[in-house]
Amino acid sequence: MLSLVLLAALRETVPGNVGEGVTALVGLDVGTSAVKAVAISPDGEVLGIAEESYPLSVPRPGWAEQDPEDWWRAAQTALARVPEGPIGLSGQMHGLVALDAGDRVLRPAILWNDGRTGAECEEIESLLGLDRLVSLTGNRALAGFTAPKLLWLRRHEPETYSRLRRVLLPKDYIHLRLTGEHATDVSDASGTLLFDVGGRRWSDEVCAALEIPREWLPPALESTVMGGAGDQAAAALGVGIDRPGPVSVALGTAGIAFAVTPSYSPDPQARLHTFCHAVPDTWHAMGVMLSGGGSFAWLCDLFDEDAADLDREAERWPPGCEGLLFAPYLAGERTPHSDPNARGAFTGLSLRHDRGALARATLEGVAYGLRDSLELLREAGVRPEVGRISGGGSRSDLWTRIVASVLDLPLERTECDAGSAYGAALLAGVRSGTFADAAEAVARCVRITERINPDAEWVAAYSEGYARFGALYPALRPLEEA
């Protein structure tokens, strides 16, 4: 019965069915640890939020998998707990959902944070050449992306690969279960390494070079047409980043600095990701640090301490923590180093340092990592005057002040911090005709509630600290091979 209700809600979003009389718009985010559903009014008021978690499987060190059926069960449960309405989707990017000719799941999905495909990444860059790969896809071959996973499957699970007929991304599997349709959107497709990001279409050249049948890939629609987007594009839209101007600063498990660009202009060295944005005819450049909020969560788990209590201990220490530095590379790093073997470290420890000092150094180390990304965005021509901060870490006043001061950039909070699910709800509104376009959705629903300015004294201290932080990775790198 629930599936029929969900299908009816999806049918309301078919283009041409203008959203007259719509009282709720629903966003569903397929995350790494849970599905999150949020229902909003056409004016952006939150009507309901539900979350349903599921397990992460780590069958071997460095691997990460999930059962797509767990996503579907969680999606049904979460959607049943919020008001009904047109549904928009967002989700974790890059994951490989392998289906047979009957749309049956062949194996657990291989996720964005799975690191098994190092050899396949080298193979892809060798086959296409790094310059050509970056020119076409906006990115270099990274272990988390989808194409290397397909090559791994062909090499290590040939029987499964021989039955493969359809390739979907995580949110697109939920779309299939809701509608019976195979589709993706351009922002999510940009993270497969099979997509011509500048042309906003699948790349025949890359597919041919990698011997990936083009017919395995679903139609790639504009996000506003599908009513869905990759998690970071949806999250940015959810805080009002629909055009060049403010940057998005996200402090979730990862740390993200995200800017919309009016044209396709990938970083020649691929230090930044370049993807299609969720708004037609725009792209985004994005720096990704793999352990953003995850670094502080790790420290809280290590001390078996609540985040708010550790935050208060950190507040007692001055900026710079008397020379204590943290390298936030607990799971390797993407931006700017692209080094899966990078590892975290505390340096500058003294007898005076306590838990609070370690906590503050962790907050500062993540902020320095975000500045690495922002500096690359500035190199690319982005000139932000303000940022919009979101994610669980943004709820800490201390951390937000630290980030604003390290970046020397005012940061704004929005009324609703429901992340990618909120952006997905806005996309549901555009697809259903409730809003004429993404700009109207943002204008009607996204409201700024607070502005946090950099602290002038902290800015000076962090300018010196950032210079020292820049020396940390080169000094630690030789130890990776020890």
Please tell me the predicted confidence (pLDDT) of residue 1: 36
Number of domains in the chain: 2
Q: What pLDDT is stored for residue 418 in this prediction? A: 86
Backbone angles phi, psi at 455, to 5 degrees: -85, 120
Torsion angle of C-alpha atoms 254, 259, 262, 265, degrees rounded to 10: -60
Confidence of residue 19 (pLDDT cuts 50, 70, 90): low
Chain-centre distance for alpha carbon 408: 23
Task: Judge if the upstream peptide bond of residue 336 is cis by omega within 30 degrees of 0.
Answer: yes
Query: Which positions ≥6 away from 248 have C-beta within 8 Å?
Result: 232, 235, 236, 239, 241, 256, 257, 258, 259, 387, 388, 390
Question: Is the residue at 346 inside a domain?
Answer: yes
Q: Confirm whether 410 is domain-assigned.
A: yes
The CA distance from 42 to 445, in Å, is 7
Amino acid identity, position 152: W
- Reported as a single tens digit per residue, the pLDDT across 447-475 is 999 999 999 999 999 999 999 999 999 99
For 410, which DSSP code?
-
Q: Both 299 and 227 in a single domain?
A: no
Q: What is the pLDDT of residue 137?
A: 97
- pLDDT, one tens digit per residue, over 280-336 is 999 999 999 989 999 999 999 999 999 999 999 999 999 999 999 999 999 888 899
> Using CA atoms, how far apart are residues 260 and 243, in angstroms rounded to an integer?
6
For range 251-260, the mean pLDDT: 92
CA proximity to 110, closest of 73, 174, 54, 66: 66
Same domain, 74 and 148: yes
Residue 16 has pLDDT above 50, yes or no: no
- Backbone φ, ψ for residue 187 (5° rounding): -70, -40
Q: Is pLDDT at 13 greater than 50 in this prediction? A: no
Pairs from 281-285 (Cβ < 8 Å, separation ≥ 24): 282/242, 282/243, 282/244, 283/138, 283/197, 284/232, 284/233, 284/236, 284/258, 284/259, 284/260, 285/258, 285/259, 285/261, 285/377, 285/380, 285/382
Residue 396 lies in a domain: yes
Residues tagged active-site = 231
pLDDT for 60 beyond 80: yes
Contacting residues for 43 by C-beta, under 8 A, at least 6 apart: 444, 445
Mean pLDDT computed over every residue of the chain: 93
pLDDT above 50 for 9: no
Work out the average pLDDT over 93-108.
Answer: 98
Per-residue pLDDT reduced to its tens digit, 361-396 = 999 999 999 999 999 999 999 999 999 999 889 999
- Looking at the predicted structure, is the pLDDT value of residue 3 above 60? no
Collapsing DSSP to helix, strand or coil, 249 comes out as strand
Is residue 371 in a domain? yes
**Whether residue 194 sits in one domain with residue 327:** no
72-86, 153-167, 330-344, range with the lowest pLDDT: 330-344
Q: Both 224 and 332 in a single domain?
A: no
Q: What's the domain range around 307?
A: 293-414+450-480
The pLDDT score that the predictor gives to residue 482 is 58
pLDDT of residue 5: 43
What does the pLDDT read at residue 115?
85
Kindly state whether residues 229 and 145 are assigned to the same domain. Answer: yes
Instruction: Report the pLDDT value the prediction gives residue 12, as an integer from 0 to 100.
Output: 45
Of 132, 90, 80, residue with least CA distance to 421: 90
Q: Is residue 139 part of a domain?
A: yes
Residue 326 falls inside a structural domain: yes
Give the residue-averaged pLDDT of 214-227: 98
What's 112's domain CATH number?
Answer: 3.30.420.40
What does the pLDDT read at residue 338? 83
Instruction: Please compute, for residue 405, the number of CA atoms within 13 A of its CA located in the half-sphere on the CB side.
Output: 22
Q: Which residue has the tokens 């300015």?
A: 453
Q: Is residue 279 part of a domain?
A: no
Radius of gyration (C-alpha) of the chain in whole angstroms: 22
**Is 213 inside any structural domain?**
yes
DSSP alpha helices (H): ranges in 182-278? 186-189, 204-210, 223-226, 231-238
Percent of the chain with pLDDT strictly greater than 90: 87
pLDDT at 253: 85
Average pLDDT over every residue of 216-239: 97
CA 148 to chain centroid: 19
Structure confidence at residue 20 (pLDDT): 66
